[in-house]
Structure formats: structure tokens, C-alpha cells
Structure 1
Amino acid sequence: MPTNVYRVQGPDGTIPYQQFLIPKRAKHLNDIVSSLKKNIRHDGRDFLAHRKLCVKTGIITQAKGSAYVECGHTKVVCSVFDPKEVPNKVEYAKTGELQCEFKFTTFSCLQRRGYTRDSEERQLCNELRRALEPAICRGEFANFEIQINVLVLENDGSVLATAINAAGFALVDGCIPMYDVITASTLGIYENKILVDPTYNEESLCLSRVIGEQNHGIIMLSYMKNLQQITEFSQNGSMGVNMFPEYVQILIDQNCKLYSMVLYNVRNNVYEHFNEEFIECKEKS
């Protein structure tokens, strides 16, 4: 494989620092398990509490809209570009297409990721596109396509939900017509305990095998509050059918809380934009 001269190549004898964290991570997982048995989350949150979000829009000047979202230690950057004509398109399409790209940086996970896209990134890309398609007014972009790029800087759990939230902020920042604001939340289940917005270590425990017939797994749900529509639902694990309505209702409630936060951020951005224009007009006059 040819060497990429634009990347810093480390010495051949170097060892990734993550290898020294494996014994520490094993002890950390044991601490999380012991805390959950005492009905306490290791980070001090309530079982139905979401991590704090940090949002910054307009960080990429070359893109039409962009957003940077931090959910705990999960860090995601999303950029949305102007609609452009679909290349080599012969037939006329009444609705526009949505092209999504989901990529982990090589240093985003505990194990070093490759430069090329793997099966997990392709799966997350498809889920991201399915979640965003119902929210965008694609009829306004007939025979055009919208490019959405998501780059994960650090993965500490709930990465797909954070990416969908970042894409929603970026679409709003880029003034892309939408039917409604889209939000997403993740729920983890470990030994019948419900963990909202699980961390990476909590997700590892939820996806591990448990003794008996206890529920365990990960659920992600994206939602549009005004339309009361679920745009994407993904599940991984083993869960009872009778518990399904409860899990969905918890995720919908979390998305409604995120919806109010998104509107607050949008109002502040609009206020700052018009306030800057008012100051510039005042200075010119």
C-alpha cells in the first residue's frame, strides 16, 4: 500500500498508548458493574439523565451549514454543503437525494481506526441518511443532492444519536428547508436497568452477554416532535416485546427535552445574527 506523505508517520517500533489503558479499562468496567448493582451510575447521573451538551454552529466556513456537538466526551463535527446537481443523472427525479458520509477519525476510538471506511461506518451512514430523509423538504431540490458529512473526533458512547443531533443543527444553520427539527437519543439496557445516553463503557456492558433471560442491548430513536413522527429506530440486543412501549416512550420524552434545547439555540443564533447586522447598519449610517 503506498505511503501517504501528507500524514505524520510514526516510527516502526511505536506502541499505541491505548494498549496501556486496557488493564485500567477492565478495572473501570468492574467499577461500573458494582455501581449499577447498587442502583448508582458510575458518573453520578440519574438513570434517566442525559449528559450535558455543548453546541457550536458555523464552525466550518467552507460549508453552507456546520455544527460541533459535545455530548459528554463524545465529540462530533457535521457539515452541510449547498445543493448541487446529481452527476451523471439521466432520469428526472422529483425529490432530491441525500448523500451522507460518516467517518471516525483514526484516534477517536480505543482501538485505532483505519483510513478507509469499514462496515460499521457504512451501517451508521445508512442509518444517518434514513433518519434525516423524512425531515428534509427534498421536493424543494428536484434533481439535486445535498451532501452531509459527519466526522467523529471522539467516541464515548451514543455516537449515532450525537451525529443526528449535530446534523440537525447543521441543517438549521445552513437554512435547509425542513418539515421539523430532528433530535435523537440513545438508551442502554443492562440487567433490566435502563440507562439513558450510555457512555462507551456502559454500551460495552449492555451489549455483553448476561446470565439468564434479562433484557440487555442498545436502542436509538430519532424523532420529530411537532409531527410526532419517528424517523429512525435501531435496536441491538435481546429485549422483551412487552417492554418495547416503555423504552420508546422514554426515548420520546428525552427527544422532547432536546427539542426545547435546540429551539433555544436557534433563537440565540437568530438574535445574534440580526443584532450584528443592526450594529453594522448603525455604524455605516
Structure 2
Amino acid sequence: MSDRRRLNGPAGTTSPPVFALSKSSTKSSQKRTRKPNELRKIFLQTGVVPSATGSAYLELESPPESKPGLLNTSSTLKLSCSVHGPKPLPRTASFSPNLQLSASVKFAPFATCVRQGYIRDSTERDIGMHLETALKGVVIPDRWPKSAIEIAVTVLEGEDDQVDGDRIGGVGLFNLLAGCINVSMAALADARVDCLDLLAAGVGAVVPGPGKPFRVLDPASIEHDLILASCLVGYLPSRDEIVEIWSNGSVSNLGRDEDIGFDGLVDSAVAAARGSQTVIKEVLIESLTRTEVGAEKLPNDGMNDVDMNT
């Protein structure tokens, strides 16, 4: 007699299917068609969240169609940022002469190939820490005593790396952080928060070439089989200052060529940041012009979008 309250399994034994990863799925399936100093197209729009003080949406150009494989990879970024504040601190909080800035980054569950959890992990905390450090270097804190501002970045689609199909890391993590800095700067400007300069971030890398290694701007892991070293900088163009720097890899064993040394790697990241700053500047000027004409923030109808092809 069978138990009616229990779903019994099959009488025989079964084995789950096992799929072997092909070479095309573990390595880059397409080559870089852009020039070494050419950036991907950037789509940026402000005022996408009406309930927030300031908001912005950033998206990078989608790569060409790659060869089908068991493990699909992506080099596209889709980020949304909302700024809340400045707002007064609670009455129970101690007096602070400076603005209390906090930044957080959260992956959507569907942002990467590996499904993300709802609790913040170490990767999200690290990105949020670097983002907060970069933004504290551009915001003027003494304008809002005993006030706080919250910056929340949601990763709708993250860039995957070719690292055994594991979590994102390496240059993909750098591109993600650079996108978070750029979209946060646009959202801060949309919230009319006073800043020292227009902060922008960029990524540079050293990749092997047919003759010798060379530098590239805005690298994507899906376009390179190997990345020897990479660097991210948060750059203030008008003040010529770097407020955030993060490097990965070693360039000491590549010879004494200054072009592929650490200084050259930083210079390539700064050049990429200047290109991103051009897009942010054009978007904010166009948004400000539309606001002055209408005497208030107008609804986003796609007219204040900027598409860049460096």
C-alpha cells in the first residue's frame, strides 16, 4: 500500500546529466574589433527615478553576437543609481560638521551568469567601499552640517570575466566599478549636490600583442584571451587629481618599456576617464538647458540621451 501523502520517486536509480564545457565557452570567443584607444559607446540618462533627489541610468554598448557555447558571457553593463538627500540626521545622532555620505552597490539576482543572493556579499561590499571612497573625494562635505546622503547603485547586468565560469573579477570588476562611479557622479549632479569637479572613472589594461604587449583603453574580458595587467582610476579632470586607484596584475616582468609600465598603465586609465567625462558633461549640460527652459525638471522623453563613439 503506497503512502498518499508523499510523492514517491522512481523505482529505479537515475543519474543527473553532466555537461562538459567546450573550449569556446571557457575562452574568449571573439576578438577586439575596436582600436586600442577606442572606447565603447556609452548611453547615459538622468532623472530616471522620480521619487529620488537625483538619479541616472548608464549602459555600455552591447558586443557583437558571439559564437554559441554552453557558457554564455557578456561584456555589457546596465546600471541604475538613485541619490536620496542631503537630509537631516536623526535627533539622537551626534553633531557632525560634515556631510555623512554612504554608498552601496547591489546586484540584481539576474545580473550575472551565477545567480546572486539577496544578502550583500564580499564583492558588493568591496565595490561599495571603493565607490564611497571615490565620491568622498569630490563632494564638498562642509556645505551640509549634520546631514546625510545615500547613494544606491543597482547592477541590472554585470560584466562577466573568463575565470572558470566563476563570479566576476579582474577587469570585469574594474569596468563595473568605473560604471558605478560614472553613473553616481551623474546622479549627484542631477541632485544638485555641490562637488569640486566632475568625477569620471576609466580602465586601462596591458594585453599581449603579436610583437610585444601594448596598452588598450576600456578593455572587455570577452575580447581578450589574456590581460596581463589592468588599472582603474577615479579622475578629476579640471583639478588633475586622482581620488581612486586600483590595479591588478604585474607589469614589472614586461621589461623597462615606459609605455607598458605602471605609469603608462595609469595614463591609459586616465585617458579612458577623460572620454567618460565628456559623456557625463554633455548629458548634464543638455539636462540643465532643458530644465532652465521649462523652469522645472521635465519628464524624460529620450531627448536628453547622449550616445558617444570615441
> TM-score, structure 1 length as denominator?
0.77
Deviates more, 1:193-202 or 1:155-164: 193-202
- Give, as a single letter, the amino acid of the residue that structure 2 aligns with 1:271: T
1:93 deviates by 1.7
1:118 deviates by 0.6
Unaligned runs of 5+ in 2: 1-17, 62-75, 160-171, 299-310
Residues 21-100 of structure 1: pairs in structure 2 closer than 5 A: 23=22, 26=25, 29-32=27-30, 42-72=31-61, 73-87=76-90, 90-100=93-103
1:201 aligns to 2:222 (yes or no): yes
DSSP 3-state at the match of 1:185: strand
Alignment-derived partner of residue 268 in structure 1: 286
Confirm or deny: 8 A CA contact 1:187 1:251 kept in the other structure: yes
1:194 deviates by 2.4
Deviations 1:17-67 (A, max 9, x none): xx989648526x2444xxxxxxxxx24111221100001110001100000
Deviations 1:81-125 (A, max 9, x none): 111233476432221111111011111112111111110110000
Give the structure with higher Rg (CA). Answer: 2
Alignment-derived partner of residue 101 in structure 1: 104
Q: Cα distance 1:21–1:259, how it changes in 2: closer, same or farther (>3 A)?
A: farther
- Give, as a single letter, the amino acid of the residue that structure 1 aligns with 2:51: Q
Q: Cα distance 1:125–1:49, how it changes in 2: closer, same or farther (>3 A)?
A: same
1:254 deviates by 2.3
- Give, as a single letter, the amino acid of the residue that structure 1 aligns with 2:272: Q
- Give, as a single letter, the amino acid of the residue that structure 2 aligns with 1:235: S
- Give, as a single letter, the amino acid of the residue that structure 2 aligns with 1:56: Q
Alignment-derived partner of residue 162 in structure 1: 179
2: distance between equivalents of 1:82 and 1:274?
22
- Give, as a single letter, the amino acid of the residue that structure 2 aligns with 1:181: L
Unaligned runs of 5+ in 1: 1-18, 33-41, 207-215, 281-285
Alignment-derived partner of residue 10 in structure 1: none
2: distance between equivalents of 1:197 and 1:171?
24
1:180 deviates by 0.6
1: distance between equivalents of 2:243 and 2:53?
24
Confirm or deny: 8 A CA contact 1:128 1:164 kept in the other structure: yes
> TM-score, structure 2 length as denominator?
0.71
1:270 deviates by 1.3
1:255 aligns to 2:273 (yes or no): yes
| Percent of residue pairs identical | 26
- Structure (1 or 2) with the greater helix fraction: 1
Confirm or deny: 8 A CA contact 1:203 1:218 kept in the other structure: no
